[in-house]
Amino acid sequence: MMNSYASIPGNTELNHLQRRKMELQLYMPPLTMEKEKSEAFWQPRLKQAWSKPLRETRKRVDEELFPYADVYRITYEGYDETPVSGLYMVPAQAAREGRQVPCIVIYPGYTAGAGYPEDHAGWLLAGYAVLAVDARGQGGETGSLLPSLHGMAKGWMTQNLLEGPDRTYYMALFVDSLKALQAAASQPEVDARRLVPCGGSQGGGLALAVAALCGLEAPAGIDLAAVLADIPNLCHVDQAIFSSAGSLSEAGQLASRKPEELSRLLEHLACFDNMNLACRISAPVLASVGWKDPICPPETVYAAYNRIHAPKEIRDYPFLGHEVNGAHRRDKLQFVLEHAGR
């Protein structure tokens, strides 16, 4: 329940938007998994994930529409033997000059995929390499070899959710997303010490998650210069499962069919909640939030954002829902320029 500020001297002169901002800034629900327990869960799994071979492939794609960029289709193995597909692009001039440049690693929103080169043209024009990756089984080129051990709600998010965290779709997705950083770092044109995880909605949640898990343990030579998390999902999951109209509502649908499993379901989800992970982020973060967002309600975003100890900024959009605007895209470019250079 949100705090009331009616009794604070001077607050009678604040307008509604100012009061709302204060409420969000002070919103600090209790963690659903203590830091020590979360670290004990993740550390052995991170060691295993980072040591797994990438088995990467890279193939040049002829792109007549993009004479100023070299475009490649790459694949790598993430959680299992599933080949995760990605679109890797680098400014042609940087490639010709043999310069290593920062790389924006882009995670997709729910049901989407890596997209087309033109979807990422802004980053290329600004001089950055881009690795845009699929989410397994969703709307890109990537399938999934993860077996389903029980029935699930529509979509992907409840796959094996009752079997334990290690077997869930979330575990596969998180490890796939971590390995995307290794795939980016392995490209000869990329400066592995200037990686920038980036995404919106599901992708924003994954950007926060990989930043947090890298803060716990990352391979030598891989560093994050910044993190861009737009309207991020996977935050304050115990609240979002009840309030979100997005992918986490699938967990609610599963729980409604199996009410006796609700506590176990929430316990498993807590392993992947950015509210519980965010304190480990060490790279600078730029986040965004729409105050009218029914998919990633502002309380859920702030519950994770307020736990970040690293340098951070958040852009509030009181009149937007599950979206960002052109001005925010310029802010992201400026933020990356300040923290990653070119």
Q: Is residue 17 part of a domain?
A: no
Q: Return the structure tokens found at 189.
A: 């044109």
Q: How many CB atoms lie within 10 A of CB 313?
A: 12
Q: Is residue 117 part of a domain?
A: yes
Nearest to 247 by CA among 147, 152, 328: 152
Report how far residue 77's alpha carbon sits from residue 24's, in angstroms, rounded to the nearest whole number. Answer: 39
Active-site residue, selected from the candidate residues 201, 244, 247, 282: 201
Q: Is residue 66 part of a domain?
A: yes
pLDDT tens digits for range 180-202: 999 999 999 999 999 999 999 99
Report how far residue 204's alpha carbon sits from residue 83's, in angstroms, rounded to the nearest whole number. Answer: 22
Q: Is residue 3 part of a domain?
A: no
- What is the mean pLDDT of the segment spanning 230-244? 95
Whole-number pLDDT of residue 227: 98
Question: How much of the chain is in helix, strand and coil states, percent to nearest 5?
Answer: 40, 20, 40
The CATH number for 215's domain is: 3.40.50.1820
Report how far residue 202's alpha carbon sits from residue 207's, in angstroms, rounded to the nearest whole number. Answer: 9
For the full predicted model, state whether its pTM sits above 0.85.
yes
Q: Return the structure tokens found at 264.
A: 């176990």
How many helices (H) does the chain have, and how many strands (E)? 12, 9
Whole-number pLDDT of residue 11: 56
27 is in an annotated binding site: no
Annotated catalytic, 191? no
Report how far residue 5's alpha carbon sits from residue 112's, in angstroms, rounded to the nearest whole number. Answer: 41
Q: How many domains does the chain have?
A: 1
Band of residue 65 on the pLDDT scale cut at 50, 70, 90: confident
Residue ranges making up the domain that contains 320: 32-340
Report how far residue 296's alpha carbon sits from residue 208's, in angstroms, rounded to the nearest whole number. Answer: 14
Q: Is residue 269 part of a domain?
A: yes
Nearest to 297 by CA among 242, 218, 340, 227: 242
Band of residue 8 on the pLDDT scale cut at 50, 70, 90: very low
More confident residue, 110 or 12: 110
Q: Is residue 24 part of a domain?
A: no
Nearest to 56 by CA among 70, 38, 75, 41: 75
Nearest to 180 by CA among 45, 284, 79, 310: 79
Active-site residue, selected from the candidate residues 120, 268, 322, 339: 322
Active-site residue, selected from the candidate residues 293, 316, 328, 339: 293
The mean predicted confidence, pLDDT, of the chain is 94
Whole-number pLDDT of residue 2: 38
Q: Are strands 83-91 and 69-77 parallel, antiparallel or unpaired?
A: antiparallel
Report how far residue 304's alpha carbon sits from residue 82's, in angstroms, rounded to the nearest whole number. Answer: 30
Report how far residue 10's alpha carbon sits from residue 203's, in angstroms, rounded to the nearest whole number. Answer: 40
Which residues, 6+ apart, have CB-to-CB distance to 121 below 8 Å? 66
Q: Is residue 9 part of a domain?
A: no
Annotated catalytic, 309? no
What CA dihedral angle connects 319, 320, 325 and 327, to 10 degrees?
A: 30
Annotated catalytic, 7? no
Q: Are 249 and 289 in contact (CB under 8 A)?
A: no
Sign, CA dihedral 229-231-232-235, equals: positive
Q: Is residue 177 part of a domain?
A: yes
